[in-house]
Structure 1
Amino acid sequence: MAALLEVILPVFIVIGFGYLAVWRGYITDQAIDSLMKFAQGFAIPALLFRAISTLDLGQNFDIALLGAFYAGALSGFAAGLLGARYLFGREWEDAVAIGFVGLFSNSVLLGLPITELAYGTDALQSNFAIIAIHSPFCYFVGITAMEIIRNRGGRLSALPGKVLRAMFRNSLVIGIALGFAVNLGGIPLPHVFTEAVDLVVRAGLPVALFGLGGILFRYRPEGDMRTILFIVAVSLLLHPAVTWSLVHLFGLETGSVRSAVITAAMAPGVNAYLFANMYDRAKRVAASAVLVGTAGTILTGTFWLSILP
């Protein structure tokens, strides 16, 4: 248990520094917003661009790995959506936003550092394969569901354009798309350029974790606790449980099992709140679920690490 906590706690201590800094007034909300704008709008997309541009697509894009992870993600989306609608009586638009919380695990800010601390940098290849389609997949599912509900009785022909426009306003999706373009096109990048990008990348995760702490202080839980606890349980327990079952059913090798289950077991990402904010639906539930889920990952993440090979 102590060894597992040594893997988990450094990530959450950095998050705690950001939380403490905003709580005690050492740094302003505006400064945190600027840090997150740099991290999520530039440094993390650069990280994804570099990882995917150099990824061995043939070796790492295992359909069984992706199937196991995304079947778990879809189960979280379905459980969140239907639970919000039929257990808690939320409107359909709210239910989609809450379902998105169960769909979008924090694959980058939590999944990457915890996997690296537990198993080393070489263990991240399967993580990057999952992350390569994570934002595009989740936003496609969430936006499509939301637009179908919002367009009840409207023209379906306008739906694909709306979905694509919304997806490609997301900087993570743009970074991923550019990485694929370089990789598939065999485009050589100048060494001086990649060195500069790598400097930015090295700052990305620490800045993002610190900024996440500040964001979490801002969105403390206020009401809707039954709904929040429900969707957090879906995210931290159902998603990884489905993925864990499928990776063993499919007979995946050890590295893929670790990456899939750890990524599935992470708390909802900040993108869950960004999605809710984009549609102005269930924002309090989404923001509070990110906070409660991130704290809960200390316990549930330790459990999932303990049962992995």
Structure 2
Amino acid sequence: MYKWLVAVLFMFGSVANAQELNCTVKINYDRVTDANTQIFKTLERALTDFVNNTRWTSRNFETNERIECSMIINVSGYDAPGFTATLQVQSSRPVYNSTYSSPIFNFNDKDFNFRYNEGDNLIYNPNSVDSNNLVGVIGFYANIIIGLDADSFQKGGGTEYYKAAQNLASLGAGSGYKGWGQQEGTNQNRYFLVNDLLSNTFTPFRDTLYEYHFLALDKMADDHKKAKEEVIASLKTLAKVQSVRPNAFLTRVFFDAKSDEIVSMFSGGPTVTLTELLENLNKLSPTNGSKWSQIR
């Protein structure tokens, strides 16, 4: 236990030489047939450098602590300098004493329209959303990724990063671009994502991230059966959200990242009682019922 505590303190307190993210950026432009493809390749390189070389927080990271993530931009339209696109954001987190990385975030932003000219400087300002909407959206998700990762190591650890994302969302609401606003006919955009993360109503979601990862997965190598039981307990915590907000946005966000992992985890290894687990899973995420039926 002492060694593990030292490892955690080292993780959060050591002097670092690296930025926070190790991000793969990919631009898919197959649907655009009447443009010079060089602009997409240039944008991909520029965003890769921007995301991985920007210092997003004041927290210290070692090189091996950088958060693994990806941002895939699917471009459906291009009229220079305007891009019509969606953005798939994914991140994962290493499990202690293993080679396995656990998915934490898997989100598709359907309203990622922006402008970009070859040679534009991409500079992050935490107190500004650029008029092109590119840096602002990427900065928003960088902070969300870091916040979710922090929540998985320390209860409530992601608050300051969510607040940074919330500030960007507030600034973006006046930009004229979709995805930032409260009154857009959807409750599943950037505005609701970060406001829900900071709402006391959804504290059980954030507690679940900590319990599921730090109290369960990180102990899997020591006691596989007990760790699986802790996963079941963490999903009971998530069920507290269901009791006050059925079919909540954040509940969907959780299972978009975790459904396959949960099926895999409970489809082998030491046997545990599954009755309560299956009851909660079917209540929390009925749309994944076909997956839950694979758990035996």
Q: TM-score range by the shorter chain?
A: under 0.3
More strand by share: 2
Which of structures 1 and 2 has the bigger CA Rg?
2
Q: What TM-score do you get using the length of structure 1 for normalisation? A: 0.25
TM-score scaled by length of structure 2: 0.26
